[in-house]
Amino acid sequence: MINKNIIRNNIELLKKALKNRNNKTIDVDLLKDLDNKLANVSLEIESLNRLRNELAQKANAAIKNKDEALFLNLKKEGETIKNKLELLKADADKLEQKLQAMLYEIPNIPHASVPVGVDENDNVEVKRWGQIPKFDFAPIPHWDLITNLKLGDFERATKVSGSRFFIYKGLGNKLIRALQAFTLDHHEKSGYIEFGMPVIVNEKSLIGTGQLPKFKEDLFKIENTNYYLSPTLEVQLTNYYAQELLDEAMFPIKIAASSLNFRSEAGSAGKDTRGIIRQHQFYKTEMVNLALPENSYEALELMTTNAEMILEALNLPYRRIVLCTGDMGFGAAKTYDIEVYLPSYNGYKEISSCSNCEDFQARRAMIRYKNSKTNKNELVHTLNGSGLAIDRLFAAVIENYQNQDGSINVPTALQKYMGVAVIK
């Protein structure tokens, strides 16, 4: 959530940010009008409360002086003020609710270094690593490799659950487990503490990280409850510190987890319908970093590099792009996407998104620290990044390491987890 002071002191910054994000749904003038009305009502309430206190003091004096007539007049005047206050407080509550609802819909302000653009076509590539594999044969897409080598089952997953679900089996499931363990072990070496999180989260946590109320259609809600299936471990890991005042000496706080995530994929009809790239249920290893504000952009670079190092360890070609203002996620101030090369796409596909949300999520979730310099409680900066999307990593490994005979070489870094050098 943005700082209200932007509405009061720098409304043009907000207008520019929304324009750059191609957001035409927020009525900035209405927002400012609501804030002004709320401020005026609040001032009136303060004024009446002062007057009420003054009347109470005069009434006490009248009692001491046994001036019954004056006391009764003051009492009557006090009741009139009380009634006005009740009406004004009701107005203030309505205005606050409207304002809060609008604030929850406003995306984060992009960092000054983010390129201005309309959509993914305006994203900027900043790095490319590795050699694209050259095959002496026509490479097989991962969905056919999976079927040929009995690594999983698409048809029975559809029978058991429905479309956009998949069942791993045999060495396919072992490879998924190996990739989860490998990524977690890598993050542990980079200073991340491993967590095991619930996959069910409450509404408050989803509000804290920005999935609610704006993206409700992307979530699976558990009927007749206040619970949802988690769309990303960013929710659990960030909200682990919600409503807390943290010690400055704790920073940076680096935590990671790997588990199933669930998304309805609303609006993705026709996209990535083959294979395991876009599923309702998927594995992901997630990094979250809570940083002091002055260190958060250095932390973003380190987090992104940390995710890239996994691909380098597996010798998978990738590129890094910085997202433009029009393609950036709701809560992000700056985002790097890492895209791995997939022969089936003859191009790069997103496998990680690393974002600095600055204090946007911390304001919603109330995550603060005691600043030793100012001796004030201030908001932390939150960062999150996929490290990595495991199903997509699975696809990248089997496609890039396939052989002409249809077998798959297991990357050297994974062989101790798999117990085999070749899948055939």
C-beta separation of 377 from 368 below 8 A: yes
Helix, strand, or coil here: 306? helix
Please confirm, yes or no, whether 278 is among the known catalytic residues: yes
Q: Among candidates 178, 184, 182, which has minimal Cα distance to 197? A: 184
Out of 21, 164, 319, 392, the active site residue is 392
Question: How far is residue 36's CA from residue 31's CA, in Å, rounded to a whole number?
Answer: 9
The amino acid at 43:
L
Please confirm, yes or no, whether 352 is among the known catalytic residues: no
Residue 351 φ then ψ, to 5°: -130, -10
Neighbours of 315 (CB within 10 A): 16
Task: Please write down the long-range contacts of 343-348, taking CB distance under 8 Å and 24 or more positions apart.
Answer: 343/133, 343/135, 343/139, 343/141, 343/399, 343/400, 344/139, 344/141, 344/142, 344/143, 344/275, 344/395, 344/399, 348/318, 348/319
Question: How far is residue 133's CA from residue 24's CA, in Å, rounded to a whole number?
Answer: 43
Question: How far is residue 376's CA from residue 374's CA, in Å, rounded to a whole number?
Answer: 5
Largest CA distance in the chain: 107
Neighbours of 137 (CB within 10 A): 10
End-to-end CA distance of the chain: 51
Please confirm, yes or no, whether 177 is among the known catalytic residues: no
Out of 21, 164, 263, 320, the active site residue is 263
Please confirm, yes or no, whether 353 is among the known catalytic residues: yes
Out of 203, 278, 312, 407, the active site residue is 278
C-beta separation of 394 from 141 below 8 A: no
Neighbours of 135 (CB within 10 A): 12
Distances (CA, A) of 227 to 9, 35, 201, 206, 208: 38, 32, 6, 10, 14
Please confirm, yes or no, whether 263 is among the known catalytic residues: yes
In terms of phi and psi (left: phi > 0; alpha: psi -120 to 50; beta: otherwise), the region of 17 is: alpha
Question: How far is residue 279's CA from residue 329's CA, in Å, rounded to a whole number?
Answer: 19
C-beta separation of 417 from 178 below 8 A: yes
Active site residues: 263, 278, 350, 353, 392
